[in-house]
Structure 1
Amino acid sequence: MLQSPQFEISTNKTDLDVPMIYQFLSEQSTWAVGIPRRVVERAIENSMCFGGFVDGRQVAFARVVTDYATFANLVDVFVLPAYRGNGFAKQMMRTIMAHPSLQGLRRFTLHTSNAHALYREFGFTEAAKPEAYMEKYFPNIYLS
């Protein structure tokens, strides 16, 4: 029987491997290709961040943009490809959803193109009133 690696989660921003986060988002993600490093750094600075670590190496990341009172938006969730299939995304989600600063919010949102099943396990559903949802969306902003 293979032993699963020890996975630890930190919300301490000084623990984050910003170069790795930047590299993944700018080169491998499906949503932020070409994002400038300064934008990644500013996003981290202004968000609640969760880093997932195996043997001291960061292998997962998620950000929550929130006012800590009424609203939160989950973004930039990823596990490095070599570490997928170990349940790390679920562990990250359990930690995020249980975080004391994210309790009692009226609305917790996210956008996903391919991980609906994961997020449904944590109570996320399609928008109750999609007709009320509006956005200004610039999908190629980092490539121009």
Structure 2
Amino acid sequence: MQFDTRGLKLMVVDHDRAVLEMLQIRLEVAGYDTTTARTGRAALDIMRNTRPAALVMELAIPEMDGFEVLTALTPPGCKPPFPILVMGRKLGAEDIQRAVNRGARDCLTKPFSGADFLDRVTRLLRKPAPPAAPARPTAFA
């Protein structure tokens, strides 16, 4: 079954213009409506006026790094307002744990293929399945 991407707005944040353009093109060809930013501050400014369906963000961005953006988006004890995928060249276990603790749902290490990137974004946007109902004992057991 194909995932319907029409009308889904994504925010993509990366300091590297070439990477940002490649991701934007890849997402728009797949049917997403994308907004981009090259700094953490610019991303937060844009998100004050528009709420994306998801955020895809490089952790090593200028002005405010990705961790600072995550902290600004997610007050302590709260869930982020939308699913977040973080990216980075050298994501160690500590970086991943730190990002997840600040609200990221998934992490992707650079370099990655365009197909892997789109698969991760699709998974990020899928609604989690509701928990299964507990089995009820039957009279015939």
Report the TM-score when normalising by structure 1: 0.32
Report the TM-score when normalising by structure 2: 0.32
1 or 2, which has the higher strand percentage? 1
